[in-house]
């Protein structure tokens, strides 16, 4: 038996044992294994193997689930931030030769139009598309983009990133590494942006808001927040609750057996009190940011949700290291609401719906945040 076939079997053993949504998705994984096992003999490199496994995982239609090589392969980021706006993939940062708001047509010969023709555009497929780009980066990337009626082609170096390096910290915003950014907008308004519920985020929130000493209005920006640690998410939202809250049940599967746990959030003794809390969300507010933090905080009477419908990616994952060189991120937990109904992947609709436009990006206008400051 080849090494790649052994790895293939090991990966599928984990998937069969731990993946939690086969029933809901009506997927016969043994049939999927059979379909892809015939392709193993053609694998001649790690890159090919990783691509094969990720192609297989696409059958789950689950953006939480992916497979990567964590060996000595450099980790690269694109030098340009991307976002789907008005059914177009656009640049949201100004970089040399690619203006903010430019419409991306191709990245590394991956045609955006082909993707849009074969996929219904929703938060899940958007994530799958971006993961397919970010997961296969080398030293350079090629772009074709549309700007002011003209098409341009350019090649740019990608950024090699090491999370603890000083150089990386200068290139990327601080919240990329810490998961949080905060500031005092004025004497009556505080602002915190959470990109990920990393360890220590709840402590930073508490310390910063105590420092600001604001009681009138707090803006919590969850746009682009793609989850994080469940316990840290619970600790963070507990800061804003004034009474204990039962949020439903968590169910996972270990050795084929289901394990059920109640989710009860208890406020801390010195919970932070504000006359008004405004929570900003978008299509990329997902995972624990969506099904824990947003669901919990929205039950407070002083909270208003503003922005776009959230992603609807509402279940939890585990990471499995395989042969020290590979990482499998797999959906292993599903969540039920207070009534016992399975959380559906439909997204939460804000109290006030405001969508970002292409003109907003081109003109560097954050209309959602501006609206929240005036509200």
- Please tell me the predicted confidence (pLDDT) of residue 163: 44
- Please tell me the predicted confidence (pLDDT) of residue 124: 63
What span, in angstroms and rounded, lies between the C-alpha atoms of 349 and 337?
A: 16
pLDDT tens for 175-234 read 445 678 899 999 999 999 998 899 899 999 999 999 999 999 999 999 988 888 889 999
Please enumerate, as own/partner, the contacts of 314-320 that have beta carbons within 8 Å and a separation of 24 or more.
314/286, 314/287, 314/290, 314/343, 314/344, 314/345, 315/20, 315/21, 315/64, 315/287, 315/291, 315/343, 316/230, 316/250, 316/252, 316/287, 316/288, 317/64, 317/65, 317/287, 318/18, 320/14, 320/18
What average pLDDT is seen over the chain?
Answer: 86
Q: Pick the residue with more confidence: 324 or 53?
A: 53
What's the average model confidence in pLDDT over 223-250?
A: 91
What's the average model confidence in pLDDT over 135-161?
A: 87
Q: Which fold has domain 179-312+347-374?
A: 2-enoyl-CoA Hydratase; Chain A, domain 1 (3.90.226)
Q: Which fold has domain 76-160?
A: Pdz3 Domain (2.30.42)
pLDDT tens for 72-127 read 455 677 888 888 888 888 998 777 789 999 999 999 888 888 877 766 666 666 76
- Please tell me the predicted confidence (pLDDT) of residue 161: 63
- Please tell me the predicted confidence (pLDDT) of residue 77: 77
Structure tokens, 31: 């049939």
Q: What CA–CA distances, in Å, run from 195 to 204, 251, 296?
A: 13, 25, 18
What's the average model confidence in pLDDT over 25-46?
A: 91
Q: Where are the domains of the chain?
A: 76-160, 179-312+347-374
- Please tell me the predicted confidence (pLDDT) of residue 74: 52
- Please tell me the predicted confidence (pLDDT) of residue 287: 86
Predicted confidence (pLDDT) at residue 168 exceeds the cutoff of 80? no
- Please tell me the predicted confidence (pLDDT) of residue 113: 85
What's the average model confidence in pLDDT over 26-33?
A: 95
- Please tell me the predicted confidence (pLDDT) of residue 170: 43
Question: Among 13-22, 126-135, 313-322, where is mean pLDDT lowest?
Answer: 126-135
- Please tell me the predicted confidence (pLDDT) of residue 265: 94
* Percentage of the chain lying above the pLDDT 70 cut: 89
- Please tell me the predicted confidence (pLDDT) of residue 172: 45
Q: Pick the residue with more confidence: 135 or 163?
A: 135
What's the average model confidence in pLDDT over 236-260?
A: 88
Give the model's confidence band at 151: pLDDT under 50 very low, under 70 low, under 90 confident, else very high: very high
Q: Pick the residue with more confidence: 349 or 344?
A: 349
- Please tell me the predicted confidence (pLDDT) of residue 78: 82
- Please tell me the predicted confidence (pLDDT) of residue 166: 42
Predicted confidence (pLDDT) at residue 136 exceeds the cutoff of 70? no
pTM of the model: 0.81
């Amino acid at each position: 038996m080849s090494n790649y076939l052994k790895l293939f079997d090991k990966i599928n053993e984990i998937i069969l044992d731990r993946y939690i949504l086969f029933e809901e998705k009506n997927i016969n994984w043994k049939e999927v294994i059979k379909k892809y096992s015939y392709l193993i003999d053609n694998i001649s490199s790690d890159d090919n193997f990783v691509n094969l496994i990720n192609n297989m995982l696409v059958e789950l239609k689950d953006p939480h689930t992916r497979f990567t090589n964590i060996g000595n392969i450099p980790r690269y980021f694109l030098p340009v931030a991307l976002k789907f706006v008005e059914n177009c993939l656009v640049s949201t940062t100004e970089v040399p030769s690619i203006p903010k708001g430019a419409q991306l047509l191709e990245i590394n010969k991956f045609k955006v139009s082909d993707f849009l023709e074969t996929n219904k555009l929703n938060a899940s497929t958007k994530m799958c598309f971006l993961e397919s780009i970010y997961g296969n980066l080398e030293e350079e990337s090629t772009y074709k983009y549309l700007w002011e009626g003209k098409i341009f082609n350019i090649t740019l170096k990608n950024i090699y990133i090491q999370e603890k390096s000083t150089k990386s910290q200068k290139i990327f915003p601080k919240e990329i590494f810490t998961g949080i950014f905060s500031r005092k907008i004025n004497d009556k308004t505080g602002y915190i942006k959470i990109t990920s519920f990393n360890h220590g985020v709840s402590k930073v929130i508490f310390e910063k808001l105590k420092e600001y000493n604001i009681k009138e209005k707090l803006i919590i920006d969850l746009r682009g927040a793609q989850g994080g640690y469940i316990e840290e998410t619970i600790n963070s939202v507990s800061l804003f609750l004034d009474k204990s809250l039962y949020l439903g049940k968590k169910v996972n599967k270990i050795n084929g057996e289901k394990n059920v746990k109640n989710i009860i959030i208890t406020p801390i003794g010195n919970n932070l009190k504000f006359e008004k809390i405004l929570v900003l969300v978008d299509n990329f507010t997902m995972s624990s940011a969506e099904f824990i933090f947003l669901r919990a905080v929205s039950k407070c009477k002083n909270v208003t949700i503003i922005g776009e419908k959230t992603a609807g990616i509402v279940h939890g994952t585990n990471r499995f290291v395989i042969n020290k060189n590979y990482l499998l991120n797999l959906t292993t937990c599903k969540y039920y609401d207070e009534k016992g109904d399975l959380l559906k992947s439909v997204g939460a609709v804000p109290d006030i719906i405001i969508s970002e436009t292409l003109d907003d990006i081109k003109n560097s206008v954050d209309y959602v945040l501006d609206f929240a400051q005036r509200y």
